[in-house]
Amino acid sequence: MTELSKKKRHSLSLDVIAGLVFPAFNPRYEYVLNKYSGIGADLNINFDDENGSQILEKFSFSPYYRQYFFSKEDYGAKGFYGEGFLKFYTYENDTYFFGDPITNTEAYFETALGVGIGWKWVSNSGFLIDINGGLGRNLGFADDPNDRNFTGKFGVNFGWQF
């Protein structure tokens, strides 16, 4: 790793898709362990109470470990990566009764274990773009009659590595 890359071990970024498509706030922090790996966490806060609340998480916290590939070219924790993550999240299910204007909304907590892939570009100045996606298997902690089996994790993050 170059001397400049050694100093830039922290990165902060924001998922622009979450902010543009949904009224949500999704920051990410990553600490670069070495040029081959990093650890970090995503936080997602969804402010949408109207559209798709039964589909999207209201809140999630997702720590992860990333393994970067192609380090022979001294990418230094950028480029193609695979990650393993643990996701803790809450969501709501709305129950509609036929012919009744009253709905019943119940909140649930779930945990998932998953894997993902992505690509991270970092400029010499530290500006970064990270495109990623992943799929996690729910561990079954929620007592939801609709029983979600999987959860996703997707984003386009813009940020800074410093």
pLDDT at residue 35, as a whole number: 84
Please determine, looking at this structure, whether the domain spanning 3-161 carries the CATH number 1.20.1050.10.
no
- Check: CB of residue 89 under 8 Å from CB of residue 57: yes
Cα 145 to Cα 2, 40, 73, 132, distances in angstroms: 53, 33, 50, 30
pLDDT at residue 52, as a whole number: 53
pLDDT along the chain (162 residues), means of 10: 64 94 93 93 88 71 94 69 97 74 80 97 93 96 79 96 92
Phi first, then psi, for residue 35 (nearest 5°) are -70, -10
Instruction: Give Cβ neighbours of residue 101 (< 8 Å, ≥ 6 apart).
Output: none
Name which of 140, 144, 157 is nearest 64 in CA terms.
157
pLDDT at residue 51, as a whole number: 58
Name the pTM for this structure.
0.85
pLDDT at residue 145, as a whole number: 66
The Cα–Cα gap between 85 and 113 comes to 6
